[in-house]
Amino acid sequence: FTINGGGNNYLGLFGVLSGSLRNLGLENFTVSGGNFVGGLVGWNSGSINNCYSKSAVISGIAYIGGLAGRNDFGSISNCHAMSEVKATNKVFEVCVGGLVGWNSGSINNCYSTGTVDDFWGGNWHVGGLVGLNESGGSISNCHSNSVVRGYSNNIGGLIGCIYSGAIITSCYATGAVSGTGSGGVGGLVGESWGGNYINCYSTGAVTSSGSSIGGLVGNGWGGSIINCYSTGAVGNSPIRVGGLVGWSR
């Protein structure tokens, strides 16, 4: 199927979901629109379990995900997305992710593959699994093999940006990550504002022509890293390059 929403918001097979959705797979489809665009759900505040999107192209202006555009205090579990997800306009806050664009709920036992691309150079939050993870959001037992390309800040193999208090447990990323912005490019997380990481790792190569790039975290502001590692090659930046963290404050 094809959904061509123009500049309209809240687009997906379901525009807005506050109930429960389970055991549903979508294949070979296209969804395009404005804000809050997802393959399955544009805006989720309910429960999604055992669902997937495959061989899809999901595009929009901001808050775009292979499965859900925004997970607003909802739960997503046992799901995956194997799609091409991309931002199509240059705006201040993009939030584009292989599975979810913007997360403030829980994501558990999920994964993403494919490509995530902010090819218009919109500012901030591009991630292989999640673009932006808010302080109330938690992610556990998840991984991403998505190739992530961003042309501004906060670009990560698993998560583009995390805000304080968020807990990421037993997650990993293996896809290549590249950026050209002023900072915050990492194999697992691009920019971390007080995020907490437990038993996580990354193995993908990380490159950027900007600053603050790291094998695990590009730019870190507080938080904690416990029992984590990175093995991917890190380079091609003029300043603040780290095998684990590019810049920690």
pLDDT band at 214 (very low <50, low <70, confident <90, very high): very high
Report how far Cα 128 is from the mean position of its chain's Cα atoms: 4
Q: Is the pLDDT of residue 121 over 70?
A: no
Question: Per the structure block, which two tokens stand in for 27?
Answer: 């294949």
pLDDT at 238 over 90: no
pTM: 0.96
Residue 120's pLDDT is what?
A: 65
Using one digit for the tens of pLDDT, what is the confidence trace for 148-158?
A: 998 878 999 99
Torsion of CA 68, 69, 74, 80, to 10 degrees: 30
pLDDT tops 80 at residue 227: yes
Is residue 139 scored above 70 in pLDDT?
yes
Which range is least confidently modeled, 21-30, 50-59, 81-90? 81-90
Strand-by-strand arrangement of the 41-44 sheet: 14-17, 41-44, 68-71, 100-103, 130-133, 159-162, 189-193, 217-221, 245-248
Residue 126 near residue 160 (C-beta atoms within 8 A):
yes
Confidence check: pLDDT of 68 > 80:
yes
Partners of 185 in the β-ladder: 155, 213
Report the candidate in 25, 141, 136 with the shortest Cα–Cα distance to residue 77: 141
Per cent of the chain over pLDDT 90 is 81
